[in-house]
Amino acid sequence: MKLYPILSALSPHHVVESMPNGGLASQLEMILRLVNSRVAAVDRIAVVAHDANTGLLKTLVSTNRDDGALKHYEVALADVPTLSELAVQRGTRVIHNLVDAFRSPSTPNHWLKHHHYPSSVTTPVSQGDVLAGFLFYDSRQLHAFTDADVEELREFTDLIAHLFLTQRRLARGIVSAIQVAVDLARSRDFETGQHLERIAYYSRIMARALAASHSLSDAYIEYVELFSPLHDIGKVGIPDHILLKPGRLDAAEYEIMKRHVAMGESIIGRISQDLGLQGSMQEQIMRNIVSTHHERGDGSGYPRGLTMEHIPLEGRIVAVADVYDALSNRRAYKNSWDDAAVCAELRAEADAGLLDRDCVEALLSAKEERASIKQRFADVREPGDYA
């Protein structure tokens, strides 16, 4: 890769040190200025992430010379044949006139046409053999990019891909590091992996639905999805006779169980320190999820008795996801509820001020998505479980 000349121009110290706190968005703003010193036609740089588990392309971050951005958009890679082909070829696509090249009324094409970006250079970004996403350079000029421009942009592509993949590895490394802690804690299986998958996707549904009204970035949505499965990580420190009890806890046992929040905060603190994440968006979202997903809007939750306005949005989101999933699935002490009963209960808890009403309605409104998640990530039990 031709990273080094550009890294030197950007100052390697700034590039490395600002990553956790500033993130890719602030890096792209800086890179766009440098790009324009060499390829003046570039008006916009965008990174779209690919989820290998779902096959979805998801807007992640972009920077442009004017206001406005394509945000909170998802589409199946299989539904975009040109990008699917590009991902296989691992080449670079140059478009000189978007109107002539694509007659498709897709959201991205419509957005680019509406904002007058007729020219583009697109390159897939891979992590090993796995497609991680795509990088786009867009211009407001027709036939904006010469062969020399495309070659010049390759160096910047290497840099942006490096930063994108570094951030991606960092985020997944956090989850992996904590998962190791869980595995080392005698593989206690206090929650099924399917439960954690469902929590992640339910949380994403809500974050996406609330993005416009709460001015949420695509990076925020990604981190909520990624870190929501860590909500009960502190349970690795709860004694087996309480954690695995096949029935409801008594008052004393419940008080011990509640300590898992403080234990989880301690784990997140150590992980953040080891990875240099103090003060970053990643650390804040992780900590808020672990600390506040058991809080309730009327102050009856734990550990701090926060009222709704003091509970961070990510904590409110995961609280709704956790309650929904707990009611929807069988447990040692209860049978699963049907969906109508679960919806009624969540709305009742929203009426009582326990759960955030916007989060509840965001999840319940996505009926087909919820059904798909429940079917795809259904628990598999052995005969006799919970008998």
Return the H-helix or E-strand segment holding 131.
Answer: strand 130-139
Residues whose CB is less than 8 angstroms from the CB of residue 88 and which lie 6 or more positions away in sequence, other chains included: none
Output the pLDDT for position 73. 82
User: Per DSSP, what are the bridge partners of residue 63?
Assistant: 45
- Among the listed residues 58, 71, 235, 374, the single catalytic one is 235
Q: Is 321:203 a contact under the CB 8 Å cutoff?
A: yes
How far apart (Å, rounded) are the C-alpha atoms in residues 350 and 226?
A: 25
Nearest to 95 by CA among 36, 64, 40, 138: 138
CB atoms under 10 Å from CB of 300, counted, come to 12
Contacts 24+ apart (CB under 8 A), 196-200: 196/229, 197/229, 197/377, 198/321, 198/325, 198/373, 198/374, 198/377, 199/228, 199/229, 199/231, 199/318, 199/321, 199/322, 199/325, 200/225, 200/226, 200/228, 200/229
pLDDT band at 144 (very low <50, low <70, confident <90, very high): very high
| CA dihedral sign of residues 294, 211, 352, 308 | positive
User: Per DSSP, what are the bridge partners of residue 136?
Assistant: 46, 122
Output the pLDDT for position 246. 81
Residue 102 has pLDDT above 80, yes or no: no
User: Per DSSP, what are the bridge partners of residue 48?
Assistant: 59, 134
Output the pLDDT for position 319. 98
What does the mean pLDDT of the chain come to?
84
Q: What tens digit of pLDDT does each residue of 43-90 get?
A: 999 999 998 888 989 888 888 876 666 777 888 899 888 899 999 999
Output the pLDDT for position 380. 67
Residue 169 has pLDDT above 90, yes or no: no
For residues 326-350, give the mean pLDDT: 90
Q: Please give the full DSSP string across 225-254, using - where no structure is assigned.
A: HHHGGGTTGGGGGS-HHHHT-SS---HHHH
Output the pLDDT for position 154. 92
| CA dihedral sign of residues 375, 381, 386, 387 | positive
235 is catalytic: yes
Nearest to 124 by CA among 132, 116, 115: 132
What CATH number labels 185-376? Answer: 1.10.3210.10
Question: Could you state, in order of their start, the residue ranges of all structural domains in the chain?
Answer: 3-168, 185-376
What CATH number labels 3-168? Answer: 3.30.450.40
For residues 157-181, give the mean pLDDT: 81
3-state helix, strand and coil shares in percent for the chain, rounded to the nearest 5:
60, 10, 30
Q: What tens digit of pLDDT does each residue of 243-281 get?
A: 888 888 999 999 999 999 999 999 889 888 877 788 888
Q: What tens digit of pLDDT does each residue of 203-238 get?
A: 999 999 999 999 999 889 988 998 898 899 898 889
For residues 274-289, give the mean pLDDT: 87
| Residue with the larger pLDDT of the pair 20 and 62 | 62
